[in-house]
Structure 1
Amino acid sequence: MQIQPALFRLSKRMALSIALLTMTSMPLRAETPPPALFAYVGTYNPNGEGVYLFKVDSQSGALSRVKVVSNLPNAAQLSLDGAGKTLYVASEVANYKDSQHGVLAAYAVNRADGSLTLLNQQDAQGKMPVYVALTPKQNYLLAANYGSGSVASFPVAEDGSLLPAASVQQSAGPAGAARPEAAPIGSFAASGHDAPHAHMIASDPNGKFVFSTDLGLDRIYQWRFDQSNGSLAPNTPAFIKASSAGAGPRHFVFHPNGRYVYLINEEASTLTLYHFDQSSGTLQEQQTISSLPKNYQGTSFASGLTLSHDGRFLYVANRLHNSIVQFAIGAQGKLSWVEETWTRGDYPRSIVIEPQGRYIYALNQRSDNITQFAIDKHSGKLHFIDRYTGLGSPSQMVFVR
């Protein structure tokens, strides 16, 4: 009767030994590393040489330069398709095939090493293309030409290449006020109120309507967009005036809920909230506030803006003041000031948040560098992490895995 417990204990020890032997003999499975993250940065000549490829550290967000992947001159404006297969580059050259126009280029992306292969080029249908954006279905590329004030849509072929323009619209009208009435005291921010200057064009999240800004005419154009043929037709009304005379509407962004639009006015250094009517495709102004500190006086040019991934905060870049200003988004999309952060560089042309929402980068055009800031996931506040990336005249950055 006393043998059974002993046998039982022996059986347990044998089972444990077998289990341990089995575990130690099994090959260890290595953790799968996260897919490589690349960044493309467009630059201006002569300091910049074209489009640069960087590797982005998956943990620290540090940028490591790999090489120049396109020597297209003044390749300052970029747009990447949702699948990360095609990069579109707008070059602000003024002599594409003796047309006195800029050029748009489509590149196939090698997802393994980030290298680019040119697919084709198209006349931008205007001078100095300063903005390109894909429509939600990724089947048209929209372009805004600052030098001539024209906007255009280009069909995207199955391989990602660009077909000739499907629709071209030329703005016309009296130039806006020579001096921005809402600018700070002492401001001499007057950069383009002499003729039409289209500065941005982008679709609403559903792809039914398109908006474009004209800095020179102080207008925000409202377009109906035909997704079957790419045509841009004036909405009713065809445009609305900027929030103040001489404000110089520049860039805008849709809130993730699709109902709010935030627009930065370059010369007045103001930020305007519009409510977007999703049925009519029109904008209604709701709020306009300064992008600069309350007591600031002098000249500054507002430039880029971007939303936190969760839609709780809006970040705005100021050139000459050289700051990133954080705004909290409240009820009905209303904005309230949180704080300002020095960019540690000069003339931030754009600001961009990396895909995981942990870091924001300032592309400082005149100081030839990119500076990096950590984003607090709760407060949204920025913290400079003492990291500079030297690069000649950076303008815009996009990410691809």
Structure 2
Amino acid sequence: MKLRKSGRLLLAAATSLGAGLALTSCSPSNTVDYVYVAASKNNPGQINVYLADSLSGALTQIQESPYPSGGRNPVAMVTSPNGKYLYVVNKDDNNIVQFAIGTDAKIYPQQTCNTPGSAPLAIAVNQSGTFLYVVDQYSPQYPGGPVYSSSNPGPGDVVVYPLNSNQALTGCTPVTQTFVDSSNTTQTATYVPVGMNPTGVSALANGNYVYVSAQNSASSLGEVYAFNVASGGTLSNVAGSPFQAGTSPSSLIAVTSQNGTYLYVTDSLQNQLITFTILSTGALSPNPNGPTKTDTLPFNITVDPRGQYLYVANYNANDISAYAIGSNGTPSAVAGAGTYATGAGPFCVLVEPALGRFVYTANFIDNTVTGFELNPNTGALTSTQNSPYSASGQPTCAAAIPHGNHSLQNVQSTAG
């Protein structure tokens, strides 16, 4: 299946204790990560749970897998930085579900929250685990304002949920925000509006800034909205926001690398990767070397824990583009192939967080997960043992936590 221009937005929109928590882990001693892959075909959606082997990178699905996702069409998910929780976005039920992660990799639904707007499609958490960010495709109605939906498209929104000291939701009430609407009226609400057709969200590692990508159909120009994050979770616009980002941004990630702090945005229409330097103010400065070529329909992006390499999932090309992050943030193709074949329709890409040695893609069309071993010296990839691995119908996104004594890394795929 190839996606035409008219189908790209549909792809972006299609794209998250019990006694078991106290049990001693029964996972094999060579398990390095627990990997979670959401699948959207069934109702409710499903979460596939795998053990990742530390030597080969091979994935083994646990016996009880898959689990219900808590709603229809799970399109995005993220793990808490402490590895205790999995947060899943179910787009068609307008909810996010918090799952507790057991010591045996099993997941236990804890809390379900409906978002203020409709059709949530992206999620991120800051590195300190104090705020959860969720993007709705359509913002809710404010007093005197219109009701937005697929039949009456309008701006999206970003919502901030506070997390407690254990990095769990404190309830379903978002942080109260203040913004000026299109009629120049100050509004107080549980969200902040962004542009039309938002696609992704990413928080800077220091927690000071959060970024949202949007495909602004009105202007035919892509945008990135940049927000300052106050200590209580309130958002305010960074000067100059929104920043132009190609024509059809599909995903983004904020990276603190060995060479600086950058924001990378995939442009699915122009088949390119756009690089910005993140300034001390949170503003974005375009890379003077311009965008970098990708393969066809780049959709999702991730970075390795060392901040050296970027990997882009190209949906129509059925492959991954691999890049090294240069001294000024410019991506350059890794030595060798540069692109690596995956299953059909890679929807997202993830570097496992324990060692940063294995890369996985969730392949929407052929219902598989492709695995690669990452060479930390070059960024090159080779297939893992027994790859690809079976998954439930229409895999959309992936997340992972380290298992055992491995240190936690702030690595997650973005979903848009």
User: What TM-score, normalized to structure 2?
Assistant: 0.73
Letter in 1 for 2:240: P
* Deviation string, structure 1 residues 273-293 (Cα, Å, up to 9, x no partner): 111112x11110014334336
Asked if structure 2 preserves the Cα contact closer than 8 Å seen for 1:75 and 1:91, the reply is yes
- Indicate the residue corresponding to 1:145 in structure 2: 136
Pick aligned residue for 2:305 from 304, 309, 323: 309
Name the CA shift for 1:274/1:40 in 2 (closer, same or farther; >3 Å). Answer: same
Pick aligned residue for 2:113 from 119, 122, 126: 122
Pick aligned residue for 2:291 from 289, 292, 315: 289
> Shift in Å at residue 254 of structure 1?
1.0
Question: What is the SS of the residue equivalent to 2:98?
Answer: strand
- Indicate the residue corresponding to 2:328 in structure 1: 332
Q: Measure the CA separation in 2 of the matches of 1:171 and 1:129.
A: 22
Question: What is the SS of the residue equivalent to 2:34?
Answer: strand
1:186-197 pair list within 5 angstroms: 196-197=196-197
* Deviation string, structure 1 residues 345-371 (Cα, Å, up to 9, x no partner): 111111111231222112111111111
Q: Which moved more, 1:266-275 or 1:340-349?
A: 340-349
Pick aligned residue for 1:68 from 66, 73, 79: 66
Letter in 1 for 2:348: S
Pick aligned residue for 1:103 from 95, 98, 115: 95
- Indicate the residue corresponding to 1:216 in structure 2: 216
Name the CA shift for 1:377/1:157 in 2 (closer, same or farther; >3 Å). Answer: closer
Q: Measure the CA separation in 2 of the matches of 1:377 and 1:259.
A: 20
Question: What is the SS of the residue equivalent to 1:125?
Answer: coil
> Shift in Å at residue 170 of structure 1?
8.8
- Structure 1 consecutive aligned stretches of length 4 or more whose deviation exceeds 6 Å: 169-173
- Indicate the residue corresponding to 2:267 in structure 1: 265
Asked if structure 1 preserves the Cα contact closer than 8 Å seen for 2:250 and 2:300, the reply is no
Asked if structure 2 preserves the Cα contact closer than 8 Å seen for 1:215 and 1:250, the reply is no
> Shift in Å at residue 76 of structure 1?
2.7
Q: Measure the CA separation in 2 of the matches of 1:225 and 1:232.
A: 5
Asked if structure 2 preserves the Cα contact closer than 8 Å seen for 1:150 and 1:170, the reply is no
Q: Measure the CA separation in 2 of the matches of 1:383 and 1:140.
A: 36
Name the CA shift for 1:106/1:352 in 2 (closer, same or farther; >3 Å). Answer: same
- Indicate the residue corresponding to 2:14 in structure 1: none
- Indicate the residue corresponding to 2:78 in structure 1: 79
* Deviation string, structure 1 residues 217-257 (Cα, Å, up to 9, x no partner): 52111111112x21111121231112x3x233522231334
> Shift in Å at residue 260 of structure 1?
1.9
Name the CA shift for 1:141/1:367 in 2 (closer, same or farther; >3 Å). Answer: same
> Shift in Å at residue 47 of structure 1?
8.7
Q: Which moved more, 1:199-208 or 1:43-52?
A: 43-52
Asked if structure 2 preserves the Cα contact closer than 8 Å seen for 1:249 and 1:263, the reply is yes
Name the CA shift for 1:277/1:366 in 2 (closer, same or farther; >3 Å). Answer: same
Q: Measure the CA separation in 1 of the matches of 2:164 and 2:199.
A: 25
Asked if structure 1 preserves the Cα contact closer than 8 Å seen for 2:358 and 2:372, the reply is yes
- Indicate the residue corresponding to 1:384 in structure 2: 383
- Indicate the residue corresponding to 1:248 in structure 2: 249
Q: Which runs of 5+ in 2 are unaligned?
A: 1-27, 140-155, 183-194, 404-416
Question: What is the SS of the residue equivalent to 1:363?
Answer: strand
Identity of aligned residues (%): 21
- Indicate the residue corresponding to 1:393 in structure 2: 394
- Indicate the residue corresponding to 1:239 in structure 2: 242
> Shift in Å at residue 128 of structure 1?
2.1
Name the CA shift for 1:304/1:48 in 2 (closer, same or farther; >3 Å). Answer: farther
Q: Which moved more, 1:151-160 or 1:337-346?
A: 337-346
- Indicate the residue corresponding to 1:24 in structure 2: none
Name the CA shift for 1:372/1:166 in 2 (closer, same or farther; >3 Å). Answer: same
* Deviation string, structure 1 residues 186-215 (Cα, Å, up to 9, x no partner): xxxxxxxxx811212222121111111112
Asked if structure 2 preserves the Cα contact closer than 8 Å seen for 1:40 and 1:397, the reply is yes
Q: Which has the higher contact order (CA 8 A, sep 6+)?
A: 2
Q: Does 1:55 align with 2:56?
A: no
> Shift in Å at residue 48 of structure 1?
8.3
Q: Measure the CA separation in 1 of the matches of 2:179 and 2:388.
A: 41
- Indicate the residue corresponding to 2:37 in structure 1: 41
Name the CA shift for 1:71/1:200 in 2 (closer, same or farther; >3 Å). Answer: closer
Asked if structure 2 preserves the Cα contact closer than 8 Å seen for 1:70 and 1:116, the reply is no
Asked if structure 2 preserves the Cα contact closer than 8 Å seen for 1:106 and 1:162, the reply is no
- Indicate the residue corresponding to 2:371 in structure 1: 372
Q: Which runs of 5+ in 1 are unaligned?
A: 1-31, 95-101, 174-194, 294-299
Pick aligned residue for 1:136 from 122, 127, 130: 127
Pick aligned residue for 2:169 from 136, 140, 161: 161
Asked if structure 1 preserves the Cα contact closer than 8 Å seen for 2:323 and 2:379, the reply is no
Q: Measure the CA separation in 1 of the matches of 2:255 and 2:265.
A: 9
> Shift in Å at residue 92 of structure 1?
0.7
Q: Measure the CA separation in 2 of the matches of 1:122 and 1:388.
A: 34
Question: What is the SS of the residue equivalent to 2:343?
Answer: coil
> Shift in Å at residue 54 of structure 1?
1.3
